[in-house]
Amino acid sequence: MKQEKRYLYLTPNEFKIVIYSLNWLRNAKIQRGEYTDWVDELLIKAMKAPVKKVKIHN
């Protein structure tokens, strides 16, 4: 089964919030002794995502 690709366009501030939130979730899971594999993978994907400048037309 082929997975559908999704694209998410974020401002620099929104990107910081996403990274901060994922890191907060990861730390909370570590404190509870839960696995963080999926959060780690998502954090790495977010940080390695290519940056593309897009013009927005109003």
Confidence band of 55 (pLDDT split at 50, 70, 90)? confident
Q: Give the pLDDT confidence of 12-45 residue by residue, as tens digits.
A: 999 999 999 999 999 999 999 999 999 999 999 9
Q: Which of 26, 28, 29 is nearest to 46 (CA)?
A: 26
The reply to whether 2 falls in a domain is no
For the chain, the domain total comes to 1
Residue 26 vs residue 5, higher pLDDT: 26
Q: 19 near 47, Cβ under 8 Å?
A: yes
Domain holding 28, by residue range, is 12-48
The reply to whether 23 falls in a domain is yes
The reply to whether 56 falls in a domain is no
Q: What is the pLDDT of residue 43?
A: 95
Q: Is the pLDDT of residue 58 over 90?
A: no
The reply to whether 55 falls in a domain is no
